[in-house]
């Protein structure tokens, strides 16, 4: 497998009046095609900023981002808008449009690229089947549960057959059961459609379940990256160690209470 997404020396800082906070301090990352790559770290580590730099919802100060042969950071506004149509993104807060039905939410990106009506109908039905929400086609997002909303979000992000799916804390607002089902859905999508998934999370459990590789982000620096297995067995960075400790305690608690863990 070859490198598909390449991030080179990415820097980003936010200016707040006189204060300048450096959020990303030179990120280098290579992600292979068809991988599920986890980026883990505590709140404020810069995970979200990093993933938002990939589709330039956040403009990096310096550094390069490549997806395939396209240098994303070199695109002008119009080219970027075009390229974004092939980069899916899902969010912690789902960000569905309340004014549209589930069908129209999923049809929205298809309309952006001028898909004919009949094809939209077909494609949306297929996506709804994939995420298991065929019966909610004409419901409004307001009437759905969190897990269902995220399924609609996933269907919407997949509408234009993206090659990359960015997941920004997609399961962090969900209960444990919905979290598992969404994670399994992401794994299924990765398996069936071959979409490369970059997954931001602060839940190690989530990363462990589906990510082949992970990178640990700490204060804007990647302190550790590699196969999920290796990092779980022998974490080198402090965040990695703390994470694992918390994770083990969590499992123990759940085992003692008879829950058997997640």
Identified binder of another protein from the candidate list 3, 44, 74, 112, rule CB under 8 A: 112
Name the segment binding another protein (CB under 8 A); options: 109-117, 170-178, 221-229, 234-242: 109-117
Task: Lay out the site mask for another protein across 47-66 (x = CB under 8 A, - = otherwise).
Answer: --------x-x---------
Identified binder of another protein from the candidate list 156, 208, 209, 225, rule CB under 8 A: 156
Identified binder of another protein from the candidate list 87, 107, 155, 195, rule CB under 8 A: 87
**Closest approach of Cβ 145 to another protein, in Å?**
12
CB distance 262 to 205 below 8 Å: yes
**Closest approach of Cβ 208 to another protein, in Å?**
27
**With binding defined as CB under 8 A, does residue 82 bind another protein?**
yes
Token duo for residue 155? 């269907």
Q: Which residue reads 């330039």 in tokens?
A: 56
Torsion of CA 200, 201, 204, 208, to 10 degrees: -40
**Closest approach of Cβ 48 to another protein, in Å?**
11
Token duo for residue 117? 């009506």
**Among candidates 148, 146, 166, which has minimal Cα distance to 157?**
166
- Which run of H or of E encompasses 4? strand 3-16
CA angle 14, 164, 43 (to 5 degrees): 35
Identified binder of another protein from the candidate list 37, 91, 103, 243, rule CB under 8 A: 91
Task: Lay out the site mask for another protein across 161-180 (x = CB under 8 A, - = otherwise).
Answer: -----x--------------
Token duo for residue 37? 């790559």
User: What's the CA gap between 172 and 98, in Å, rounded?
Assistant: 21
**With binding defined as CB under 8 A, does residue 123 bind another protein?**
no
Token duo for residue 175? 């209960």
Binding site for another protein (CB under 8 A): 55, 57, 81-85, 87, 89, 91, 93, 95-100, 108-109, 112-113, 139-143, 156-157, 160, 166
């Amino acid at each position: 497998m070859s490198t598909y997404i390449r991030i080179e020396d990415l820097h980003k800082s936010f200016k707040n009046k006189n204060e300048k906070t450096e959020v990303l301090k030179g990120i280098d990352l290579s992600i292979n095609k068809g991988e599920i790559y986890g980026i883990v770290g505590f709140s404020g580590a810069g995970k979200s900023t990093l993933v938002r730099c990939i589709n330039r919802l956040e403009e990096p100060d310096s550094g390069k981002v490549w997806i395939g042969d396209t240098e994303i950071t070199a695109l002008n506004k119009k080219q970027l808008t075009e390229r974004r149509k092939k980069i899916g993104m899902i969010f912690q807060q789902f960000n569905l449009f309340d004014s549209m039905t589930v069908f129209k939410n999923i049809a929205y990106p298809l309309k952006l690229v001028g898909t004919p009506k009949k094809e939209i109908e077909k494609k949306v039905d297929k996506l709804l089947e994939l995420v298991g929400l065929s019966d909610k086609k004409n419901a409004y997002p307001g009437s759905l549960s969190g897990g269902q909303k995220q399924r609609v979000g996933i269907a919407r992000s997949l509408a234009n057959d993206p090659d990359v799916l960015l997941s920004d804390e997609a399961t962090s607002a969900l209960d444990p059961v919905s979290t598992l089902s969404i994670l399994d859905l992401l794994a299924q999508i990765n398996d069936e459609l071959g979409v490369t998934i970059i997954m931001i999370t602060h839940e190690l459990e989530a990363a462990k379940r589906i990510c082949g590789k992970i990178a640990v982000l700490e204060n804007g620096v990647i302190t550790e990256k590699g196969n999920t297995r290796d990092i779980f067995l022998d974490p080198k960075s402090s965040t990695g160690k703390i994470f694992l400790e918390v994770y083990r305690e969590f499992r123990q608690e759940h085992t003692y209470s008879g829950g058997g863990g997640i």
